[in-house]
Amino acid sequence: TKPVILDVDTGVDDALALMLAVAHPRLDLRAVTCVGGNVPLDQVVENTLGILKLMGADAVPVAAGMSAPLLEPPQHADDFHGRNGIADVVLAPHGLEPTREHAVELLRRTIEHSGEPLTLVTLAPMTNIAVLLRMYPEVLRNVERIVCMGGAIGLGNATAAAEFNIFHDPEAAEVVFRSGVPITMYGLEPFYRVAVDESTITRLIDSHAPVAQVAGRLLQHSARMGGDDERIPAEAAACIGDAGAVCAVIDPDALVTRAAPVQVVLDGTVARGQTLVDFRTGPEPERPVGIQRGLVDVVFDVDGARYRRLFLETL
Ligand code: BDR
Ligand code: CA
């Protein structure tokens, strides 16, 4: 099994991602850290604990982290995710508590104490991760890779230029991209491509399994809110979003990636939060000057049917 930590802003599709991470036998979910993003931090923690309870994963430690981005005030997306962030689905009372330690401390401790290098899956603005890298840069020695849902090669979603997770905290994202840790950028191109159709959603909702029912209702909400996005395949109704980034850890062979420098646009212009992916080739391509940055494995295509099967069969 692969040891992983999920950093989340639960969120409809973060909830789907948590379900998959708990349920898949190849993953060992060591901790979940919460950050303000889709909804305010308290609600993120509440939703995360509720989903873990539903999955019978009471023992996975959950910590609250940064409630606001490094520089700017939060700009939540509850208009998309429903008032409670999870499509207004009411989960059974969970009776669980987050850890007393801050998410950054839980991250440090979990990474340091792991016998083998850990994979960090970030499904949210990267505020917690940036603070971790500034406070405890030495933990990177025991991080195998960051698989990050964030950014886009082309069109954004929060703005025309920027994907929400990067848009919400561009400075944090740039800290992570400059860190030199191996990164897979699972951006909006694969994000929208892994999707389910209407009849699958109905089948999930009508099933007698509580986990499948909740997944179905979350997907139904996504279908209502964003099903007409042209990036979702024509025959499908809703994408599994963040859950695809968890698939990317389980089955990386279904990804088509290319290594390139990625620079986050930080100017306060219309392009703030854009991930500028430099796919230019040639003997000496001009690279952003003055900054040490590693190459990011940018996902530009994915076998959507394979990840859909992986998701549905696991749940
Ligand atoms: C990302 O932002 C949130 O709305 C989703 O949970 C996902 O992490 C997509 O831009
Ligand atoms: Ca998210």
DSSP readout, 9-48?
---HHHHHHHHHHHH-TTEEEEEEEE-SSSS-HHHHHHHH
Ligand 1 centroid, distance to 283 Cα (angstroms)? 36
Ligand 1 centroid, distance to 187 Cα (angstroms)? 10
As a whole number of angstroms, the distance between CA 15 and CA 83 comes to 15
Contact 186 CB / ligand 1 (< 6 Å): no
| Beta strands at 183-186 and 296-302: parallel, antiparallel or unpaired | parallel
Closest ligand 1 atom to Cα of 13: 6
Ligand 1 centroid, distance to 188 Cα (angstroms)? 9
Contact 38 CB / ligand 1 (< 6 Å): yes
pLDDT single digits (tens) 110-158: 999 999 999 999 999 999 999 999 999 999 999 999 999 999 999 999 9
Among the listed residues 46, 78, 85, the one whose alpha carbon sits nearest the alpha carbon of residue 62: 46
Contact 164 CB / ligand 1 (< 6 Å): yes
As a whole number of angstroms, the distance between CA 123 and CA 34 comes to 10
Distances (CA, A) of 85 to 10, 54, 99, 109, 156: 7, 16, 21, 28, 21
Ligand 1 centroid, distance to 289 Cα (angstroms)? 30
Q: What is the pLDDT of residue 286?
A: 59
Closest Cα to atom 10, ligand 1: which residue? 164
pTM beyond 0.90: yes
Token pair 């859950």 is found at 243
Closest ligand 1 atom to Cα of 14: 6
pLDDT at residue 291 above 60?
Answer: no
Q: Which of 86, 123, 166, 218 has the most ligand 1 atoms within 8 A of CB, as the residue to mutate? A: 123
Contact 241 CB / ligand 1 (< 6 Å): yes
Cross-strand partners of 27: 2
Contact 85 CB / ligand 1 (< 6 Å): no
pLDDT single digits (tens) 231-271: 999 899 999 999 999 999 999 999 999 999 999 999 988 99
Closest Cα to atom 9, ligand 1: which residue? 164
ipTM: 0.98
pLDDT single digits (tens) 169-206: 999 999 999 999 999 999 999 999 999 999 999 999 99
- Asked whether the CA dihedral 97, 58, 60, 312 is positive or negative, the reply is negative
Contact 11 CB / ligand 1 (< 6 Å): yes
Closest ligand 1 atom to Cα of 123: 8
pLDDT band at 280 (very low <50, low <70, confident <90, very high): confident
